[in-house]
Amino acid sequence: MTDLIFENVRLLDPANGLDTLGALLVRDGRIADLGRSIGRPEGAKVIDGDSAILCPGLVDMRAEVGEPGGEYRETIASAAVAAAAGGITTLAALPDTKPAIDDPALVRHLRARGEETGSLTILPYAAATKGCRGEELAELGLLREAGAVAFTDGARAIGSARMMRLILSYARAFGARVVQHPEEPTLAEGGAATSGELATRLGLHAIHPAAEALMVARDLRLLRMTGGALHFAHVSTGEAIGLIRAAKADGLDVTCDTAPPYFDLNETAIGNFRTYAKLSPPLRAEEDRLAVVAALADGTIDAIASDHQPRDADDKRLPFAQAAAGGVGLATLLAVTLAQVHGGAIPLARALGLLTAGPANVLGVKAGTLAKGAPADLCLFDLDAAWQVEAGELPGRAQNTPFDGRALEGRVIGTWKAGRRVFG
């Protein structure tokens, strides 16, 4: 493989506190050297970055990929195309598929399917309970041995306190984290929007935001009992974030992520029954959105995930209450996050850390860094390039973006996986 050298780039690696104009050398698929001034090997292919930012390939810690069972919505191949366009080189895939990822062979299959794309490392989550039904414990030890990065029932909350206690205890024995969808299921059942004036005016069955905090409070108590490791996905309310912040201060092994809709949009985005903005959890009030932004800035939130949920057009062309919840997010993950940088709410290094080293640390994987010897998984982007999100024009199969029509600044120029260009 010919040496590849990036010159005139702004090297930004939050994992190592690096932020400098310089160069980076790729040799045999790995980062061989980087810094303000490095030599140019004879015969190397040169890429002039024109002062664009070169950072680690993004690590997306929460996404649906459509396989197995949902290929009509998305395939691993189409998800890989969308991920590459978004600068994502590592992706953790949810297990609540059909069939659910509750068999070690399926864990290995997902990893292999990721390798086949040549552009995306897939890190499979394994089901915490058989079939993600919440009734019977899955074979956690065998699933972990097969390569599962953590245990979760995906978009389904683990509703039984007894079952959650068992999962936390067993996962601890295998050195794994449990990921919870924090929404008390009996309060959320049948709900389509956050309770309040808007949901009432639209006549929608609502979900009280306390459903999130109640589940967080319960699981934090179970975490104290078991001493395990717990992660809350797509946190969206100030009350839940406050509980997590306090638990961290008490020394509990708890982490959390959020997704771009919860810091870029509020409940008004559902407008007059706009189904592309129907998400799970639902979009919240403005005060909760601001609480999420504050938690991104102060370190309470450990990662930003795409929360990519591809849906078929027919799943969204239904009355709001019946339409499927979920929005795509791979291609827009970086740019929507950068909107908080442009708005002054979050420093650039912090924002990129939430997309690279942060999720890698939560998952316990070696990714999201520009360290010498690390795989050359790279993202080159223009911080100020303007573009507009258009449903129907996004890479990938599914187009159900809640950001349709959103003007953004910050666009991926190129993505490299193990030194090979896979986008741009």
Domain ranges of the chain: 57-363
pLDDT value, residue 1: 80
Answer whether 3's CB lies under 8 Å from 24's CB.
no
User: What is the rounded CA–CA span in Å between residue 420 and residue 80?
Assistant: 14
Q: Quick one: residue 177, left, alpha or beta (phi over 0 = left, psi -120 to 50 = alpha)?
A: beta
Q: Does CATH number 3.40.50.1370 belong to domain 57-363?
A: no
Amino acid identity for residue 315 in this structure: D
Task: Please report, as a single letter, which amino acid is at residue 275.
Answer: T
CA distances from 156 to 233, 254, 272, 343 (A): 11, 19, 27, 34
Residues of the chain with pLDDT under 50: none
Against a cut of 0.75, is the pTM above it? Answer: yes
For 212, other C-beta atoms within 10 Å of its C-beta total 31
Give me the pLDDT at residue 229, please.
98
404 is catalytic: no
How confident is the prediction for the chain on average, in pLDDT? 97
Q: What pLDDT does 49 receive? A: 96
Give me 256's structure tokens.
């959390």
Catalytic hit among 103, 264, 307, 404: 307
Tell me how crowded residue 10 is: count the other CB atoms within 10 A of its CB. 18
Cα separations in angstroms, 348 against 345, 354, 415: 10, 10, 19
Crossing angle for the helix pair 238-249 and 286-298, nearest 10 degrees? 30
